[in-house]
């Protein structure tokens, strides 16, 4: 009889509360997983160990994740999204000139990587044996969003005439021509490898810094190298301040 009594408003509150508790548990699981990855690496991530860390039974954990790969996918997608958000926000606040917007995005990229090296290496480090990201899944979308943050600055600068053509020194490939045409039929295909090479250069610098490969020369002051390379890269793009 009591089950049939109206509970207007109460059900919505309880549902919301359940959703909040479930979301909090997801975050607790991911925090424990990231802690484990920091200690033993992504290839040794263990759902049993994560469950033990948060005081949950392994069977209980499977109510949230079907297995290790689903948890890894969630962690990788989150990292891409957080990095993309940091870069996008910095670019939006970077001023009006392409030089300042590019530079702001690069600095945000480096800052995020140095503050969260384990998450950075989770998405850009050694591939985890046995793990394959889902085709067109959240990790792919996160990667695409991060790349588009930088490309959008270049595309906007090119459309405004603020980024002159850069000589490539070789014929463009079919893939480069197709991508340029997809973005804008009038875009010079050389734009694609020039932008990609610029990202690869500063990404490589950040990765080496995260791995402490500059410490022998710069100690804790490798920012001086990064800042000079930003200026050199942007000068090469023709967007010097």
For 165-176, how does the pLDDT look when each residue is reduced to its tens digit (9 = 90+)? Answer: 888 889 999 999
Q: What is the pLDDT of residue 10?
A: 42
What is the Cα–Cα distance from 44 to 128, expressed in whole angstroms?
A: 9
Say what the pLDDT of residue 92 is.
Answer: 95
Let me know: does 17 contact 61? Beta carbons within 8 Å. Answer: no
**69-236 shares the fold of 7-65:** no
pLDDT of residue 240: 60
pLDDT at 17: 84
Neighbour tally for 15: CB within 10 Å? 10
Answer CATH for 7-65 from 1.10.10.60, 2.40.110.10, 1.10.8.50, 2.60.40.10: 1.10.10.60
pLDDT-flagged residues of the chain (< 70): 1-15, 240-241
Q: How far is CA 70 from CA 43, 59, 139, 232, in A?
A: 14, 15, 11, 41
- pLDDT the model gives residue 179: 94
The domain limits of the chain are 7-65, 69-236
Dist. CA 57–CA 32, nearest whole Å = 14
Give the per-residue pLDDT at 84.
Answer: 95
Domain with residues 69-236, CATH architecture: Orthogonal Bundle (1.10)
């Amino acid at each position: 009889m009591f089950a049939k009594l109206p509970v207007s408003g109460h059900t919505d509150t309880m549902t919301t509360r359940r959703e909040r508790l479930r979301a909090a548990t997801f975050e607790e699981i991911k925090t424990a997983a990231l802690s484990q990855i920091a200690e033993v690496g992504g290839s040794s991530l263990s759902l049993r160990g994560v469950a033990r860390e948060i005081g949950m039974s392994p069977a209980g954990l499977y109510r949230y994740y079907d297995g290790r790969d689903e948890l890894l996918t969630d962690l990788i997608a989150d990292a891409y999204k957080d990095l993309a958000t940091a870069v996008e926000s910095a670019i939006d606040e970077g001023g009006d000139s392409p030089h300042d917007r590019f530079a702001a995005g690069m600095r945000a990229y480096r800052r995020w990587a140095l503050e969260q090296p384990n998450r950075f290496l989770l998405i850009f480090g050694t591939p985890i044996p046995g793990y394959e990201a889902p085709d067109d899944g959240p990790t792919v979308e996160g990667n695409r969003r991060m790349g588009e943050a930088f490309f959008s600055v270049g595309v906007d600068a090119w459309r405004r005439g603020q980024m002159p053509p850069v000589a490539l020194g070789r014929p463009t490939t079919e893939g480069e021509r197709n991508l340029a045409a997809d973005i804008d039929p009038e875009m010079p295909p050389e734009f694609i490898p020039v932008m990609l090479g610029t990202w690869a250069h500063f990404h490589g610098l950040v990765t080496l810094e995260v791995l402490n490969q500059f410490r022998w020369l710069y100690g804790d002051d490798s920012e001086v190298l990064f800042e000079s390379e930003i200026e050199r890269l942007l000068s090469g793009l023709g967007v010097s301040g």
